[in-house]
Amino acid sequence: MDSVDIRQRVRRVDAALAGMYGPRVLRPRGDALGTLVHTILTQNTSDANSDRTFAALRAAYPDWEALARAPAGDIAKVIRTGGLADIKANRLKQVLETVRSCAGRLDLGFLSELSDEEAFDYLTSLPGVGPKTAACVLLFALGRPVFPVDTHVHRVANRVGLVHTSGPAKTQEVLAPLVPPEIVYQFHMNMVTHGRRTCRAGKPRCEACSLAPGCEWAVRNG
């Protein structure tokens, strides 16, 4: 399947998912550093749990300087319910120190002056920040059409046959350039929803999926 075919199929999958879960409208948050911190907290936990953890973190440290000054052990206590607290606390400290060293302050506003590629390269240069996290910051905070791939998107994309890749990072590398910019947000959000509700890892609900007739996995296992 060439890139034109994949783009066309992406549009068909996007339309089908929008029919299942509704259209999505992007409203950029504008706070790139806050989005980065929040996205780090989402790793290996649910959205609801990460939201609570982020709220607890902001209540304990109302500004980024306070967070940067805090001992990693204290931060870990605040975010303990989000899982991997010690790893995430150290990562947050490292990221904030690197941002301040580079920008002279705890602010990622300068990303708006960079191209998508430059901003992506900068974010992925930060300690522990991978392609999905970088793409989430660019999409959700700045409204850039950069497509993030998590485990749900990776699973759905491979099952339906958009790609045949070994992991989320590779799926993002291959698929992201082929997603039309105007549907990046909707496609991402509905792919995630589909992976959680219908195309589940353990027991996909193919009988409830409008993608099933053209899905490689469903046809092979039906």
The rounded distance, in Å, linking the Cα atoms of 93 and 69 is 8
Q: Which long-range contacts (CB under 8 A, 24 or more apart) does 216-222 make?
A: 216/159, 216/160, 216/161, 217/158, 217/159, 217/160, 217/161, 218/159
The rounded distance, in Å, linking the Cα atoms of 140 and 128 is 19
Measured CA to CA in angstroms, residue 31 lies from 71, 89, 100 at distances of 24, 20, 16
Q: Which residues have CB under 8 Å from 220's CB, separation 6+? A: none
The rounded distance, in Å, linking the Cα atoms of 71 and 88 is 13
**The one catalytic residue among 93, 132, 170, 203:** 132
Q: Can you point out the beta strands (E) in 4-111?
A: none
DSSP conformation class of 71? -
Q: How deeply is 23 buried, as exposed, middle or buried, from its count of CB atoms within 10 A (0-12, 13-18, 19+)?
A: exposed
Q: Does 132 participate in catalysis according to the annotation?
A: yes
Enzyme catalytic residues: 132
